[in-house]
Amino acid sequence: MTADETPAAAAFDVQPVMERQTRVTPHLPLLILMTLVMLIDGYDVFMLGKIAPAMAADFGEPVTGLTLVFILQQAGLAVGSFVVGPLSDRYGRKTVVLICVAVFGLLTLAPIWARTLTEVALMRGVAGLFLAGIIPNAAAMLTEFAPPHRRAAFVAIAFTGYTAGGAGSALVAIWLLDSHGWESAFLIGGIVPLLLVPLFALATDETLQFRIRRNPRDPAIRRTLQKLDPALDLSGVDQFRFGSLADEDRAPRPGDALSVFRDGRAPMTAMLWAAFFVALGVIALLGAWMATFFYQLAGVPLSRWAAYSLLSFAGGVTGTTSIGFMMDRFGRSRVLITLFIVDAVALALIGLLPFGSAPFIAALIVWGYCQAGGQAGINVICAQAYPTSIRASGVGWAFGAGRVGGIVLPALGGAMLAAEASLSQVFFVVACGPLLVAAALVGIHITMARVSPRV
């Protein structure tokens, strides 16, 4: 029998090596670089809102003239979430990340030379397609590389970068907008990702699961395994597999995104989509209207709200950073269901308590913690819900549902203002969102127990 005819059963199973690893050090370059990529991704997604008035004035348009820019960017993010995931499952996470980072970097630089806001809108729409490709690939790569007891923590840490990127865009606007114009925000958002491309290309590897599926005799697999476990004896091994032969036979075809509904996954996928639709929709709703709610319904000046909003951001960073460790320690579903219930209570209290009081500040911080930590947590659950051959598709499509929620639910804010609802009524309605997510998480927990993700 020739080497090419080695039976699959004789191939070395990599899965036990991955499952028993405890060392974090070999994965730190990926974690650090992916967190930086997520940071600039979050920066590029959120910077537009921070510089909109300056852009509109420079183009001689009212701020409402940027409506098309916002709409096309959101549409690009939604479409990209559905498209990029299946491509990543088929052609590799690292390859798609590099393409996405390079292209959205170039497209972020391009508006500096735009002559009209329509040109800016078209560029941001296309950029959105590639910006949307980072989150599902970050979740997939970190889930597939991280030690089992640190998977949730790795994904959550990377999402801290995304949250910090949104805050970073505000700091750039504060420091550079007056002295260097709105173009400075696009310059940073374009150059930084282009600098990260060669670093990411040189310092990270494609996931073992993908490489084994592409070429089970790839000699780079041996080198990666021995980096993870220097004591591993691979003498005489020239072929690898991931998991049992039965798992390989049952695994979905790479990039077959419709497999998120097959093999008993349909109920789980439907509830994940519902959770993402509501969770990201509520985030978009509050992001668009929260300052206006307090200004119009409670007479709170916008500048005063902006100062207090930093407290919720501090809570959000803490939540995103710590949620992964809590999930790894106390269990995914238990922690998240509790978090979203507390989120609902905090939102209701924000609408009831006197603005600026100590209890109000506490509720604001708790809300920031629960909202950001909860979103990071359902990202983790989604990444672990699907087998590697459709993992990026599963995460990407769930985020696509969430992007649709981000377009639909903000209309509720305008409707409540038009109906002249009180501040407490508004926040009671919004608080129903986290309760719906908690209910969906109960269903996700039950259905996930019946479906093996075969990580």
Domain ranges of the chain: 16-209, 257-448
Only one residue has tokens 């941001």, namely 124
Using an 8 Å Cβ cutoff, are 89 and 391 in contact? Answer: yes
Per-residue confidence (pLDDT) for residue 187, from 0 to 100 = 92
Per-residue confidence (pLDDT) for residue 210, from 0 to 100 = 85
Per-residue confidence (pLDDT) for residue 247, from 0 to 100 = 54
16-209 shares its CATH topology with 257-448: yes
Residues 6+ apart with CB under 8 A from 2: none
Helix axes 391-408, 134-145, angle to 10 degrees: 140
Among 127, 136, 42, 144, which residue's Cα sits nearest to residue 88?
136
Range 257-448: architecture per CATH: Up-down Bundle (1.20)
3-class secondary structure, 346: helix
Q: Per the structure block, which two tokens stand in for 117?
A: 């806001």
Per-residue confidence (pLDDT) for residue 250, from 0 to 100 = 60
Q: Per the structure block, which two tokens stand in for 187?
A: 């310059």
Residues 6+ apart with CB under 8 A from 301: 295
Secondary element (H or E) of residue 13: strand 12-13
d(CA 340, CA 330): 16
Per-residue confidence (pLDDT) for residue 255, from 0 to 100 = 62
Please state the pTM of the whole predicted model.
Answer: 0.79
pLDDT in tens, the chain (455 residues): 344 445 555 788 888 888 888 778 888 899 999 999 999 998 888 787 677 777 888 888 876 777 788 788 888 988 998 898 888 888 888 999 999 999 999 999 999 998 898 999 999 999 999 999 998 898 888 888 888 778 788 888 888 888 788 777 767 777 777 778 888 889 999 999 999 999 999 999 888 888 888 888 888 888 888 888 888 888 778 888 887 654 554 667 766 778 888 888 899 999 999 999 999 999 888 877 887 788 888 888 866 776 777 788 788 888 888 888 888 888 888 999 999 999 999 999 999 999 999 999 999 999 999 998 999 889 889 988 888 888 888 888 998 999 899 888 888 888 888 888 999 999 999 999 999 999 999 999 998 877 755 44
Q: Per the structure block, which two tokens stand in for 41?
A: 């991704």
Beta bridge mates, 241: 13
Instruction: Give the sign of the dihedral formed by CA 338, CA 154, CA 214, CA 243.
Output: negative
- Other beta carbons less than 10 A from residue 379's beta carbon: 30
Q: List strand residue ranges (DSSP E) for 184-338, in order.
A: 240-241
Alpha helices by DSSP H, listed for 59-133, are 67-91, 93-109, 117-131
Helix axes 117-131, 67-91, angle to 10 degrees: 30
Using an 8 Å Cβ cutoff, are 296 and 413 in contact? Answer: no
d(CA 35, CA 146): 14
Alpha helices by DSSP H, listed for 3-66, are 15-20, 28-58
| DSSP character at residue 217 | T
Q: Across the chain, which distance is largest between two alpha carbons, in Å?
A: 82
Superfamily of domain 16-209: MFS general substrate transporter like domains (1.20.1250.20)
Q: Per the structure block, which two tokens stand in for 88?
A: 């990543």
CA-CA-CA-CA dihedral for 319, 324, 328, 331, to nearest 10: 60
Per-residue confidence (pLDDT) for residue 143, from 0 to 100 = 85
